Chain A
């Protein structure tokens, strides 16, 4: 639930009074071209950046107050742009990192098994340095790491960046699985608008910091204006 959210870089408003809301247990895609304010939105929601005004809440939790680690502990995980893994740690260490703050070790272990189920490739490479992974594997690891904290809301920033189309497809499918089978709500930020809208339930189109369009993903795909401006045909 986001209302009138405004975020500035110095004098420049990166996001100007945007509002939209996402239903629980659905996948929402936020699309828009470079500089539309997508990443700023994500960083604000996860606590990495301060908002100038407005409100952003998830259930009862105020997303504009507190540091990222605070949000994580309240069920909001963020996978930042550009394969957010730590290259110097092993695959398993990266995953463990996501659950370090959790008290219940057994539950953390079972979560790890879930991740390995979702991404079997990670289990094969559990002792390797994250540095040695391919781009797609890194993205899986990043999502897996975020999932390790058992989030209710998962914020994904451009998971498709720099990946081959086939791999993108696979990642999007996994995200869908996370939403469908595990009941996690996902906000997916994407430049790859078509791919994102195809798997999403709901879509928001950002343009230069303001909401240009929003609605059911299938409706947006059908909307000629959106098609022309963002989907490229």
Chain B
């Protein structure tokens, strides 16, 4: 169905979600909204890692740009909600383009470390200029749900609807981009810089473009995240968030967008699972330490045993039964360092 009528599938999925939102209790609705936000953030990171071979450990910084842009446009210009989201996308995309220009020259661990340093430096910037509201942050209030939706329509359901509408639109759009010429050239760049260059693909420009789009998506995720907590502050976009998104991307499988839900649901579910376990054994030590342990252990196990994510794994199994779909370009061990050494010459 997805292959033949992608648009219908997305609309159908949206309808299901709409039905679900009426059935869920409010805590789940809130968590559902968070899942949508994570899904966008993870998709943005997958686009970067899986489709252009770049990594960002400071993706939270790009989310922050989006969140702050949305909040500032709301506070100072009373922009309507949809416009704040557009502004979030544009602002983050600009930030991403600048970062991408620097990033295109870097690879693997260098890029990882640089984005990490950016994420660490971000709070100082928020503190440096009083317009950003410092550590305490700024409110981002999108207002109450429209009265036409009825009195029982809660704020979180409103967030849920907004987040999921945006998420579905973003994922649908991404799916189309991935199947376009750009998507193909990104994948080529990811597989092998040199081969792509030989095939006439402008590697640098492609990487910057991928970074820009990824940042734009991160921006809207940042604005939505700010919406669900109604605040932007450095603490809303901590290093932990960047790591969580990287975790979610790996759990989802970085080579395909198909798995984004797995990562985002897992991120929201893990603290719940840890809590359930802790309640069972009644230990505070478990409650405080187990979520971190679970996420990290899951991350390591995924990288070790399902490196390309569960969805890709499934495809691979299917492909083995039928005809093989392996790429002809053989990528030697540790692509990162290889491209690095070619860079150096």
A and B pair up: yes
| Interchain CA distance A11-B327 in the complex, whole Å | 9
Interface check A10, CB cutoff 8 A? yes
| Interchain CA distance A124-B40 in the complex, whole Å | 63
- The residues of A that contact B324 with a CB separation of less than 8 Å are 10-11
Would you list which residues of chain B between 91 and 130 have a CB under 8 Å from chain A?
none
- The residues of B that contact A11 with a CB separation of less than 8 Å are 324, 326
Size category of the binding interface on chain B: under 10
Number of A interface residues at 8 Å Cβ cutoff, please give it: 4
What string of 1s and 0s marks CB contacts (under 8 Å) between B313-333 and chain A? 000000000001011101000
- The residues of A that contact B326 with a CB separation of less than 8 Å are 10-11
| Interchain CA distance A9-B330 in the complex, whole Å | 8
What string of 1s and 0s marks CB contacts (under 8 Å) between A1-44 and chain B? 00000000111100000000000000000000000000000000
CB distance from B323 to the nearest CB of A (A): 8
CB distance from B192 to the nearest CB of A (A): 14
CB distance from B245 to the nearest CB of A (A): 32
| Interchain CA distance A9-B331 in the complex, whole Å | 11
| Interchain CA distance A10-B324 in the complex, whole Å | 8
* Chain A residue with the shortest CB-CB distance to B325: A11
| Interchain CA distance A11-B326 in the complex, whole Å | 7
Would you list which residues of chain A between 209 and 225 have a CB under 8 Å from chain B?
none
CB distance from B126 to the nearest CB of A (A): 44
What string of 1s and 0s marks CB contacts (under 8 Å) between B325-345 and chain A? 011101000000000000000
| Interchain CA distance A12-B326 in the complex, whole Å | 10
CB distance from B274 to the nearest CB of A (A): 41
7 new A-B pairs (CB below 8 Å) besides A10-B324, A10-B330? A9-B330, A10-B326, A10-B327, A10-B328, A11-B324, A11-B326, A12-B328
A-B contact pairs, 9 of them (CB 8 A): A9-B330, A10-B324, A10-B326, A10-B327, A10-B328, A10-B330, A11-B324, A11-B326, A12-B328
| Chain A residues at the B interface, C-beta cutoff of 8 Å | 9-12
